[in-house]
Amino acid sequence: MAVNIILPPPSLSLWHTKKLIYSTQIRFRIMSSASKSQPQSVASSAVYQVPGLDSHEMDSTADKTFERYSSNTAKRNGKGVSIVWFRNDLRVLDNEALFKAWVSSQAVLPVYCIDPRLFQTTYYFGFPKTGALRAQFIIECLADLKKKLMKKGLNLLIQHGKPEDILPSLAKAFGAHTVYAHKETCSEELQVERSVARGLRQVELSPAQGNSSRSSSTHSPKLQLIWGSTLYHLDDLPFSVGSLPDSVEAKCTIRGCIRLPTSLGPPPSVDDWGIIPSVEQLGLHSEKVVKGMRFLGGETAALSRVTEYFWNKDLLKIYKETRNGMLGPDYSTKFSPWLASGSLSPRFIYEEVKRYEKERLANDSTYWVLFELIWRDYFRFISIKYGNSFFHLGGPRKVEKRWHQDQKLFETWRNGCTGYPLIDANMKELSASGFMSNRGRQIVCSFLVRDMGIDWRMGAEWFETCLLDYDPCSNYGNWTYGAGVGNDPREDRYFSIPKQAQTYDPDGEHVAFWVPELLTLPKERRNFPGKSYIEQVVPLKFGSSNKHHSQRSKYGGRHSGLRNR
């Protein structure tokens, strides 16, 4: 399957194309199409389960997909035991680490380590590293993964502790010759990989333990890391990541999904497979989604969401027109939480898009979903190129700029009490559901860094806590761009709140959903409530001369000319 790669540079043409499209030609179509698939009136307490299928429909969707993706031609030619260390790849379908472990052994031991470091605090500002909603989502992913592995004749060993402590001792106990896992790219994850490799080197296996009958001396288990998180395989890029261009169009092949045999068993004999913990057992207070989207974790739900969005609701064909929406489950794919946990493979999405194009239709929208996945790839690849500078205040370009860390002001942003309904609604949505639309993320990011002048890393770390789809590459990649410290000096990403509100929430449906006191106001005033709403904590840097915006901010600023987006 050869496709044109367009690695979309935040700097160059495609980004600007996007900008144009956002702001002008299809603005009205965006809203009218979006409203077709969004709730017509605002029920201020609705919960939308994503996907919206019942459990029977989901199981049958996943079973059918697995049937299509299983193969009985693969040959198993290894010896002994191999371990699969599950990380952010909580799936069976298109899991190359699992496949390689199966091929190279007589028994596969799947392991997930509940690493206490994931439940500590964020690097600079000490927020919880994993919020309760993402913890719940991951727990659901693990429960589903265990079920899926059991269906294939395996199981999932749940261990509490650091992978570098657990994996070497398991390798020793089971005489495993190899630990297979998916490769990560950011520093914390790389550090764990190095520690695991070091730990494994200290394990001595007897000559009989291994996958080769020729081994005559003691040896150590190996760590084999496999690339598998992106649409494009790292090895297939027509350039090295170090010289990753800002813009490129080239021929690149997307590898087909890995097809696994129906049975992967038996596993080695294990006395106690461990228990998937509850949120409380992870040291967090459990939270319930009582409003907005409630995402179900796991591969079954992920495959069902693809079926629901592409096939049942037939929304793929209008994606490009609806994708800038903010309310309800259907304006965009909502694949991101499953992509981030690895319960969904981007190559599977690619194959489903191609199937849809063949069986239904191909248009700009079907292409655009792949285009967005290439953005995701891009941030993953540039995380290799720029390393830790992604997480530093000055970003990849080492920009020197004055930021402040005013805790009180930051808290108004975090808690959704800024006096700007569009900001407050989005921030409340994030806290209540662990999700925010792409449009919302861009707007609240711009507000924090441009209007409030607050250190962008505070925002990025709060997103790290809350987002179900948190992924260091996409999160810090987008935040560095939003803060103007990404690798593109030309990008000025100021999002004007009045303009964004008028374009993307003209009837104030999103703000009234999340800030119900606005419901009683006429639609056109919900985003511009004046004295009917809390006082604005800061003036807008570039306000608006628009008739709606004559409110004074707490600090006496008056909105002036409308600029930018």
Which of 391, 374, 354 lies closest to 231 in space, CA to CA? 374
Query: Position 8: which residue type?
Result: P
Return the number of other C-beta atoms located less than 10 Å from residue 194's C-beta: 12
User: What is d(CA 562, CA 547) in angstroms, rounded to the nearest whole number?
Assistant: 11
137 touches ligand FAD by CB under 6 A: no
Consult the annotation and say whether 63 binds a ligand: no
438 touches ligand FAD by CB under 6 A: yes
For residues 100 and 441, which CB has a smaller minimum distance to ligand FAD in the complex? 441
Could you tell me the smallest distance in angstroms from the CB atom of residue 449 to ligand FAD?
A: 10
Tell me the torsion sign for CA atoms 410, 415, 418, 420.
Answer: positive
Could you tell me the smallest distance in angstroms from the CB atom of residue 475 to ligand FAD?
A: 3
Could you tell me the smallest distance in angstroms from the CB atom of residue 334 to ligand FAD?
A: 4
Which of 210, 223, 209, 202 lies closest to 104 in space, CA to CA? 210
Consult the annotation and say whether 455 binds a ligand: no
Q: Which position among 467, 485, 515, 518 is part of the footprint of ligand FAD (CB under 6 A)?
A: 467
Consult the annotation and say whether 333 binds a ligand: yes
474 touches ligand FAD by CB under 6 A: yes
Q: Where are the alpha helices (DSSP H) in 311-420?
A: 319-322, 336-341, 346-359, 364-386, 407-414
Could you tell me the smallest distance in angstroms from the CB atom of residue 371 to ligand FAD?
A: 8
For residues 164 and 471, which CB has a smaller minimum distance to ligand FAD in the complex? 471
Consult the annotation and say whether 115 binds a ligand: no
Tokens 């398991």 correspond to 170
- How many residues touch ligand FAD (CB under 6 A)? 29
Chain centroid to CA 405: how far? Answer: 27
323 touches ligand FAD by CB under 6 A: yes
For residues 237 and 340, which CB has a smaller minimum distance to ligand FAD in the complex? 340
441 touches ligand FAD by CB under 6 A: yes
Consult the annotation and say whether 65 binds a ligand: no
Return the number of other C-beta atoms located less than 10 Å from residue 17's C-beta: 11
User: What is d(CA 275, CA 176) in angstroms, rounded to the nearest whole number?
Assistant: 23
* The pair of three-digit structure tokens given for residue 25, joined into one six-digit string: 């030609």
Query: Position 440: which residue type?
Result: G
Could you tell me the smallest distance in angstroms from the CB atom of residue 346 to ligand FAD?
A: 8
Could you tell me the smallest distance in angstroms from the CB atom of residue 443 to ligand FAD?
A: 9
Q: Which position among 82, 336, 366, 496 is part of the footprint of ligand FAD (CB under 6 A)?
A: 336
Could you tell me the smallest distance in angstroms from the CB atom of residue 441 to ligand FAD?
A: 4
Return the number of other C-beta atoms located less than 10 Å from residue 163's C-beta: 24
For residues 100 and 129, which CB has a smaller minimum distance to ligand FAD in the complex? 129
Q: Which position among 22, 180, 375, 381 is part of the footprint of ligand FAD (CB under 6 A)?
A: 375
**Pattern 337-356, ligand FAD, x by CB under 6 A:** --xx----------------
122 touches ligand FAD by CB under 6 A: no
Give, for 176, the enclosing helix (H) or strand (E): strand 176-182
For residues 332 and 465, which CB has a smaller minimum distance to ligand FAD in the complex? 332
Consult the annotation and say whether 469 binds a ligand: yes
Judged by DSSP in three states, 177 sits in strand
Consult the annotation and say whether 332 binds a ligand: yes
Beta strands per DSSP E along 122-269: 157-160, 176-182, 222-226, 248-253
For residues 174 and 476, which CB has a smaller minimum distance to ligand FAD in the complex? 476
Could you tell me the smallest distance in angstroms from the CB atom of residue 353 to ligand FAD?
A: 11
* Alpha-carbon distances of 137 from 82, 294, 330, 411, rounded to whole Å: 28, 10, 20, 25
**Pattern 418-437, ligand FAD, x by CB under 6 A:** -------------------x
User: What is d(CA 536, CA 517) in angstroms, rounded to the nearest whole number?
Assistant: 16
Consult the annotation and say whether 376 binds a ligand: yes
Which of 533, 565, 559, 555 lies closest to 546 in space, CA to CA? 559
CB proximity list for 24: less than 8 A, separation 6 or greater: none
Q: Which position among 332, 418, 527, 544 is part of the footprint of ligand FAD (CB under 6 A)?
A: 332
* The pair of three-digit structure tokens given for residue 399, joined into one six-digit string: 């920009």
Could you tell me the smallest distance in angstroms from the CB atom of residue 376 to ligand FAD?
A: 4
Write phi, then psi, for 193 (nearest 5 degrees). -60, -45
Q: Which position among 322, 418, 478, 502 is part of the footprint of ligand FAD (CB under 6 A)?
A: 478
324 touches ligand FAD by CB under 6 A: no
* Alpha-carbon distances of 435 from 265, 294, 427, 520, rounded to whole Å: 37, 9, 9, 26
User: What is d(CA 422, CA 283) in angstroms, rounded to the nearest whole number?
Assistant: 33
Q: Which position among 333, 345, 502, 527 is part of the footprint of ligand FAD (CB under 6 A)?
A: 333
Consult the annotation and say whether 476 binds a ligand: no
The interface region with ligand FAD, picked from 9-17, 82-90, 310-318, 374-382 by CB under 6 A, is: 374-382
Could you give the maximum distance between any two Cα atoms of the chain, in Å?
A: 83
Q: Which position among 200, 258, 373, 466 is part of the footprint of ligand FAD (CB under 6 A)?
A: 373
In contact, 85 and 180? CB cutoff 8 Å: yes
- Our separate counts of H helices and E strands in the chain read 19, 9
Q: Which position among 348, 391, 413, 463 is part of the footprint of ligand FAD (CB under 6 A)?
A: 463
Consult the annotation and say whether 319 binds a ligand: yes
Distance from first CA to last CA of the chain, Å, rounded? 37
Consult the annotation and say whether 335 binds a ligand: yes
User: What is d(CA 250, CA 239) in angstroms, rounded to the nearest whole number?
Assistant: 10
Binding residues: 319, 332-336, 372-379, 469-471
- Which parts of this chain interact with ligand FAD (CB under 6 A)? 323, 332-336, 339-340, 369, 372-373, 375-376, 379, 437-438, 441-442, 445, 463, 467, 469-471, 474-475, 478-479, 482
Binding residues for FAD: 319, 332-336, 372-379, 469-471
